[in-house]
Amino acid sequence: MSDIILSGRNLSKFYKQRSGKLGLGTTLVKALDNVSVDLRQGTTLAIVGESGSGKSTLARCLLQLQPLDGGEVIFQGEDLAGLSGAKLRAQRRYLQMVFQDPFASLNPRMRIGEIVGEGLLIHQLGDAEERRERVVRMLTRVGLAESDMAKYPHQFSGGQRQRIGIARALVLEPKVVVCDEPVSALDVSIQAQILLLLRELQQEMALSYLFISHDLRVVRHIADEVAVMHRGRLIEQGPVERIYDTPSEEYTRNLLQSIPGRHALAA
Amino acid sequence: MTALLRIEGLTVTPVNAPDRRLVNNVSFTLEAGKTTCVVGESGSGKSLTALSVMGLLSSQLKLAQGRVIFQGRDLTVLDNEAMRQIRGQRIGMIFQEPMTSLNPVLTVGKQIGETLIVHQGLKGQALKARIAALLEQVGIPASRANSYPDELSGGQRQRVMIAMSIACEPAMLIADEPTTALDVTVQAQILKLLSELKTRMNMAMLFITHDFGVVADIADDVVVMFRGEIVEAGPVASVLQHPQHPYTRALLDCVPDADGKKPLKPIDYAWLNEEVAA
């Protein structure tokens, strides 16, 4: 279909793990076992699963942050897995990432202006004046001020740092943004702010999100489609209502049943 | 019903800033066989409240005011030695991170046994039998006593922590975010286990959490904390269904529901400050 912006075909990724007595043997762990996913233009695809299910590996492999052992990633008509060097870097501008830990993902020695503007510099977009304008515009859009450009990350709260991380990803005007657990380190009141901000920005900038999360309540609110991962395999994918109302896999049903407060808070 | 634990006017301040009340005049009671959840966001003072009860405040902080009456005795005036007799024996504790709370170079059996040796003087076969019984009680095969923490999954480690905390059959259990680091299916199992143990052993449970979903699943009573103070307290059904305080209502509004029917509404702090002032 033409409206698919990012597509992973038969993705495989293996890790070697030491095993046996004294760790002399090795076993092959299938982090991704023949996984195929499609992300539609302008929508949010949530990848859900428990720890070790392969959801973060999938995101990293799609962005070519980790090499694949098999399969292809089609973005704008090109197989990213076959690209390298300058060609891959050129595509990276359109594929950005927002990370989980707003405390670990910002360089403590860089000012906010440098952090948000670094991507523009790397991709040589505009002259110094233009770059500054774009950084200011982006920071203001995510709820920060021009004066914040001269500050350092430690001067901000967790929620504000996540806004900085979002500004850094979006200043490049990407097409696809991978959000890896972007709200799981935040308090619930801050979480709601960031989720609404992400949703507004999606509409304004026609973004497509790949949203990695273990929190099924958050996913229900942000996702259009859901893909459920379990032990490296994608066991179920579909529209969010369909998956939540009539899951076809036993594993998915069990996952949904385990949502805390599901029954008590439903009323 | 008489209270097992009565917290009265608890106030915690930094040693060098006595005017900053991190916990301000907090009072509530716990009853045997009931779970009281203290819920709040980071910095609300919920963990400090639990630490004060156990007498484990850091040396940077001090209990400026208040009493903690447990089974008729004020814990705040006890010395370290007397307090040690109560912790572990009369009051069990479980923390968030099962990996950092366990010693990686000792088998889990040894670690469970430590409590039993110190507080009950058990040894030999009696000790072994008791360790095996405790493991089975939390749903781990007794043969796992010889395993090291890294050989267990996160959920099993938390079960070991629970076995340690109930080893001396305490009258009260304090659990500070015990399921926050766990996967959702494992969390559901651990919550169920804690509820069963609470009922079977008729313990009072003080359960600290930031998650209203967990509150709905496990609490009998709820205490909502905001900026160091209790803003609302009561039976779980009334607090969740008919919240009275504006903060409780606002906080419940930002919790995403599992059915996606409720629109997300972040807290409008300007509005809240006005409401609180009024």
B171-198 pLDDT, tens per residue? 999 999 999 888 899 899 999 999 999 9
Report how far residue A36's alpha carbon sits from residue A239's, in angstroms, rounded to the nearest whole number: 16
Predicted pLDDT at A267? 43
Write down how long chain B is: 278
pLDDT category of residue A142 using cuts at 50, 70 and 90: very high
Whether the CB-CB separation of B126 and B182 falls below 8 Å is answered with no
Report how far residue A39's alpha carbon sits from residue A45's, in angstroms, rounded to the nearest whole number: 6
3-state class (DSSP) for residue A80: helix
B185, B212, B260 ranked by CB distance to A254: nearest? B185
Condensed to tens digits (0 to 9), the pLDDT of residues A155-199 reads 999 999 999 999 999 999 999 999 999 998 888 989 999 999 999
- Note every long-range contact of B196-202, with CB atoms under 8 Å and residues 24 or more positions apart, other chains counting: B197/B137, B197/B138, B197/B162, B197/B166, B197/B173, B198/B33, B198/B34, B198/B35, B198/B173, B199/B33, B201/B166, B201/B169, B202/B32, B202/B33
The reply to whether A18 touches chain B by the CB within 8 Å rule is no
- Across residues A218-224, what is the average pLDDT? 95
Condensed to tens digits (0 to 9), the pLDDT of residues B229-269 reads 999 999 999 999 999 999 999 999 989 888 888 888 888 88
Which tokens hold the place of B177?
A: 């975010």
Which tokens hold the place of A110?
A: 């860089």
pLDDT above 50: residue A1: no
Calculate the average pLDDT of chain B: 92
**How far apart, in Å, do the first and last CA atoms of chain B sit?**
35
Cβ of A262 and B258 within 8 Å? yes
Place of tokens 């059904």: B237
B188, B258, B265 ranked by CB distance to A220: nearest? B258
Predicted pLDDT at A263? 67
- Across residues A95-123, what is the average pLDDT? 92
Calculate the average pLDDT of chain A: 91
Going by their DSSP bridges, the two strands A225-230 and A44-48 should be labelled as: parallel
Predicted pLDDT at A265? 57
Q: Which of B242, B237, B115 is closest to B167 using CA atoms?
A: B115
Whether the CB-CB separation of B193 and B139 falls below 8 Å is answered with yes
Predicted pLDDT at B262? 84
The reply to whether B184 touches chain A by the CB within 8 Å rule is yes
